[in-house]
């Protein structure tokens, strides 16, 4: 059951530029999470935004959430080559379950 | 530092073999998950466990079983491996309190079935 869908599927930028990735979802949520995956590795949690929050910052990351449009965006400012990875949004399946549904991810390449 | 470990990074097995993938977490988490990740399909949940000896099917449980005899360990079993089970397998854990909802992932096991 696919909940989050990231856009674009792939993004290539130069070091120092900003990268923006979007996520759309279908049902009501109480939070939305973003994860990063370096090539061939496990996922690492980046940031969680709750449904009553509109924006959240963590270092060079900025996440927004628009519950009326059922969408979120992840902005990475002043990107570095080390930011090259796939980025996934994830939302709880609901009903009090601990399960998450992940989107298919945005593959970000930051060129030095 | 929190940690989820998986028994192998790479594994090659033959069709029909019984395969065990082990996952151990040291965070005293109640919840543990097994996903498989395939290009173009993203992460798909195979099985979920919310307590010792408790399990719940995910989206794609066919061909798999799981075992959770101890809180820290969650095993994924391929009873008779098939080539369409060649994939990256990811284990994760989460807590029902504290940093709830956030899942912590292991490094993954890339399984090839020949």
> Which tens digits make up the pLDDT trace of B9-23?
999 999 999 999 999
Query: Phi-psi region for residue A46, left (φ > 0), alpha (ψ -120 to 50) or beta?
Result: alpha
Please report the residues numbered 35 through 94 in chain A whose beta carbons come closer than 8 angstroms to any beta carbon of chain B: 35, 40-45, 48, 88, 90, 92
**Which has the higher per-residue pLDDT, A59 or A5?**
A59
**B79 min Cα distance to partner chain A (Å):** 24
Residue to test with chain B: of A1, A51, A100, A107, most B Cβ within 10 A = A100
- Over residues A14-28, the pLDDT tens digits come to 999 999 999 999 888
Over residues B45-72, mean pLDDT: 95
Nearest to B42 by CA among A74, A19, A9: A9
Contact between B110 and A33 using a beta-carbon 8 Å cutoff: no
- pLDDT tens sequence across A50-73: 999 999 999 999 999 999 999 999
Report whether pLDDT(A2) > 50.
no
Average pLDDT over residues A84-105: 87
Q: Which of B67, B83, B76 is nearest to B13 (CA)?
A: B83
| The predicted structure's pLDDT at residue B97 | 66
Taking the C-alpha atoms of residue B24 and residue B88, their distance in angstroms, rounded to an integer, is 17
Are A104 and B90 in contact (CB < 8 Å)? no
Instruction: Kindly write down the DSSP assignment for every residue of B20-54, as one continuous string.
Output: EEEEEESS--SEEEEEEEETTTEEEEEEEEEETTE
């Amino acid at each position: 059951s696919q909940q989050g869908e990231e856009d674009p599927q792939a993004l290539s930028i130069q070091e120092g530029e900003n990268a923006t990735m979007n996520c759309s979802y279908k049902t009501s949520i109480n939070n939305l999470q973003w994860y990063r995956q370096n090539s061939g590795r496990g996922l690492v949690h980046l940031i969680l935004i709750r449904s009553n929050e509109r924006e959240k910052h963590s270092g060079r990351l900025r996440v927004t959430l628009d519950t009326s449009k059922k969408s979120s965006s992840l902005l990475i400012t002043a990107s570095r080559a080390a930011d090259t990875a796939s980025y996934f949004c994830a939302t709880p399946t609901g009903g009090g379950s601990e399960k998450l549904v992940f989107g298919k991810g945005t593959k970000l390449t930051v060129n030095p | 530092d929190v940690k989820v470990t998986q028994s192998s990074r790479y594994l090659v097995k033959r069709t029909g073999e019984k395969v065990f993938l082990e996952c151990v977490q040291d965070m005293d988490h109640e919840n543990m998950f097994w996903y498989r990740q395939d290009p173009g399909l993203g992460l798909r949940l195979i099985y979920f466990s919310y307590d010792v000896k408790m399990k719940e099917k995910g989206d794609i449980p066919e061909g798999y079983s799981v075992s959770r005899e101890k809180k820290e360990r969650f095993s994924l079993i391929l009873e008779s491996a098939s080539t369409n089970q060649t994939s990256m397998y990811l284990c994760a854990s989460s807590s029902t309190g504290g940093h709830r909802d956030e899942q912590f992932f292991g490094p993954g096991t890339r399984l090839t079935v020949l």
